[in-house]
Amino acid sequence: DIEQVCKWLKIYQYYCHINSIVDCIRQFDIIPIDHEDESIGHLKRLSSNENISLREISQAYKILLEQFTTLGSEHLHLIKISVECSAVVNMMKKADLYSPQGQHRFQELRDNLTTQFQFQERNSMILNSLIITYVLCEPFITKAKTLEEFVGRLSQLRSFEESSLKHMR
């Protein structure tokens, strides 16, 4: 059955990205350790390659399907790129651009630079790259209470293509 094969491929795709997801959550401290729920535990167990029972594996995959069903391949690739380009994410975090005051500062800066760079193609391209990076980094900087909240925030990024990820690099 084609539907079943598609489901298996989707699970395999999630499984291939488990290490990146766990690394991302740890590296950017997205979900505080004291808020880690059962689904985080399952992810960590799957990523650690421990000897786990078939029952635990099937339960973990069920959770994977439930938790990540809203994420497409571009989201999974974004997670991987964010870990690889952690310096960019950390720079954005350090600049405090996602607090209410930081968002206001970024908006003012963006508006001013857009006006100044109106007829400067190269600078406009750099500014566009910064704006795309700002949007793509947000889910990795804002704290989440649960894995579901993090995945929900990540899945809200709908209007980006794989080519947008080049801006983070």
Question: pLDDT tens for residues 127-161?
Answer: 999 999 999 999 999 999 888 999 999 999 987 77
- Residue 96's Cα: distance from chain center in Å? 18
Using alpha carbons, select from 46, 80, 54, 64 the residue that is nearest to residue 147. 64
Dist. CA 59–CA 126, nearest whole Å: 45
- Residue 43's Cα: distance from chain center in Å? 15
Per-residue pLDDT tens over the stretch 17-58: 888 999 999 999 998 877 677 777 777 877 776 677 777 777
Q: What is the mean pLDDT of the chain?
A: 87
Tokens of 160: 């980006």
Name the domain count of the chain.
1
- DSSP letters, 57-86, are HHHHHHHHHHHHTT--HHHHHHHHHHHHTH
Angle between helical axes of 18-27 and 38-47 (0-180°, round to 10): 120
Whether residue 124 has pLDDT greater than 90: no
Q: What is the DSSP letter of 42?
A: H
- Residue 45's Cα: distance from chain center in Å? 20
Tokens of 91: 């720079």
Range of the domain at 130: 2-167
